[in-house]
Amino acid sequence: MRKRHTSSTAALSLAALGIVFGDIGTSPLYALKACFSGFHAVPATPNNVLGVLSLVFWSLTAVISVKYVAFVMRADNQGEGGIFALFAVLPESWRNQRKWVVPAALFGAALLYGDGIITPAISVLSALEGLSVATSAADAYVVPLTCIILAALFAVQRHGTSRIGAVFGPVMLVWFCAIAILGIMALLRHPQTLAALNPMWGMRFFAENGRESTIVLGAVVLCVTGAEALYADMGHFGAKPIRLAWYFVAMPALVLNYFGQGAVLMMNAEATASPFYALAPRSLILPLVGLSTCATIIASQAVISGVFSLTRQAIQLGYLPRVHIFHTSSTSEGQIYCPEANWLMAAACLALVAAFRSSDNLAGAYGIAITSTMVITTLLYFAYLRKSLGRGMLTAGLICAGFLVFDLGFFLTNLAKLDGGGWIPLTIAGTICLCMMIWARGRATIRTSLAPELLPESTLDDLLRQPEIRRIPGCAVCLTASPRGIPPFLTRYVRLTHSLPEKTMIFSIITEPVPRIPSQDRIVLKVLDHGLYRIIARYGFAETPNIPLDLLHANASGLAVHPEEAVYFLGRESLLSPNPGHASGNSCTASCRETA
């Protein structure tokens, strides 16, 4: 049994390399390059190289190893992670009292849409820029090839990744091994670079460069891209496999590669154009470009799939209107495809590549989305420590203050990039967050307007006792949002047709603030008079409702129903405005009506 558990953990850790660490694993392609040749870069002097490497190492240690892996991943919602899960685990009464919590959580979630647009663009673009290192004749082909690959990536989303997903982990394992070996080869030539492990070099970098050092810190944050993926994907793999993959594969490989790039820069300050590809012998550059492209496609796929999951969660929680959600795998619940989100991301991603045309330019748009999400996660984690775990103000404050030293430092330095593209993810996130809040507010208003329209059960009882009402053979399923009362469209149907199927179910779906509901706890069945039944199906925000399957589960409670033989009735809310001539002044009061 122990051997089987160990092999299962190893398999999950390997799979996590392909999904969880794709984003952060491809950061070496552009992170150090952005510090020395990008937005407000500094000269690649030995002291500056050691200082930046020290900042990179301690950022990986403090942000990833300590904040997310050691602390934040413990704040799970039935094993699920991510901003929505952290938000949902907070006490509902406290969430309602603090007006900043809901907008902050929605804005943090919306920032992931910006990440889903920028990550594929910067990752694939930075990988293909290696072609320019191999030959300057390839310069004109980098952007077109990037657009072709990205267009193909978004086009195949509708087919799902179940067939090729099994190779993600092994490919990323090869990637991490390759970048580690390249780093070791450079360090053997210049081992003095390891002095950057001393945090004093980071402090000296700030002292020597003044204001420029704080701006470079905005590029250093690129080494922790994908930090939220560690937390958000916890439900797919579990905390232990992710921790093992990070400590034993991902982090050692990343540190070795970053320090290897630093060693190259220490030996050749002219290598700032592409320190990553400068690690490889010229004969291996093209194979390395191919491997890098595969790795960045995997990283992009993981982010795109994450956006699909986020969209489904937002719909289930009532923050987005319902869009098409297709399941692309018969065995995996998480394999979904959302065409609306897919093609909007595709258009925005291709537009970014065409507008910015290089990973250096896109780096300015990338950092601010990451840092904003990190700050919001820390604030919600503070609330979790205080309200969910009951930690004291001093304990929770000290823990989160340590996180905020890095989070706010990265965020404030990235504000300097607003005019360099940083406004793009903020605009995207702000627009989506506003849409979420408006949609949720509108749904709440409709529910309030419809509440008086709900009829007591006695009204339908009285109606069914009338002699002209006939009960016809068959089964009807009346879908309604409210788990209480009788929907108006049902009584209207009875009055209009003077009939009702012998077996009629009033069916409601409730989304609970948990990721998943066990199947044995999902169905609540109540038997009413006159062959009526009330069925309430409880779902978590990470699940997709399946009404025919729920009806089959209800049969276990004595309800003999064949879903394929049932007739389904659905109420539709229509917003109506009264005649302006009947309204006082220039105002008009909106009303709501539900029709069958």
Distance (Å, whole) CA 150 – CA 125: 10
Q: Tell me which residue of 365, 299, 352 sits closest to 26, measured CA to CA.
A: 299
Alpha-helical segments (H) within 516-595: 547-554
Residues comprising the chain, all counted: 596
DSSP string, 87-128: HHHS-HHHHHH-TTHHHHHHHHHHHHHHHHHHHHHHHHHHHH
pLDDT value, residue 11 = 81
pLDDT value, residue 329 = 63
Cα angle 439, 336, 12 (rounded to 5 degrees) comes to 120
Distance (Å, whole) CA 451 – CA 158: 39
Query: What's at 320, amino acid-wise?
Result: L
- Dihedrals φ, ψ of 514, to 5°? -135, 155
- Token pair 């509708």 in the structure block, residue: 158
pLDDT value, residue 191 = 93
3-state helix, strand, coil split of the chain in percent (to 5) is: 70, 10, 20
Q: Where are the domains of the chain?
A: 12-441, 455-595
Distance (Å, whole) CA 559 – CA 477: 13
The pLDDT profile of the chain, 596 residues, written as one tens digit per residue, is 444 455 577 888 888 888 788 888 989 988 888 888 866 678 889 999 999 999 999 999 999 999 999 999 888 877 777 887 888 888 877 777 777 888 888 888 888 888 788 888 888 888 888 887 777 777 788 889 999 999 998 988 887 765 666 678 899 999 999 999 999 999 999 999 999 999 999 999 999 888 788 888 888 888 998 887 788 777 777 788 889 999 999 999 999 999 999 999 999 888 888 899 999 998 888 899 999 999 988 888 878 887 887 888 888 778 888 888 887 765 555 567 888 989 998 999 999 888 888 877 777 677 788 888 889 999 999 989 988 888 889 999 999 999 999 999 888 888 877 777 778 888 888 899 999 999 888 888 877 776 666 667 677 777 778 888 888 888 888 888 778 777 877 878 888 888 888 888 888 888 887 778 888 888 888 888 777 888 889 888 778 788 888 888 887 766 777 888 888 887 666 666 665 544 443 333 333 344 44
Tokens linked to 187 = 């360090």
Alpha-helical segments (H) within 321-392: 339-356, 359-383
Distance (Å, whole) CA 245 – CA 331: 25
Chain-centroid distance, C-alpha 130: 29
**CATH assignment of 12-441?**
1.20.1740.10
Tokens linked to 3 = 């051997």
| Residues paired with residue 86 on neighbouring β-strands, in sequence order | none
DSSP state letter for 417? G
pLDDT value, residue 596 = 44
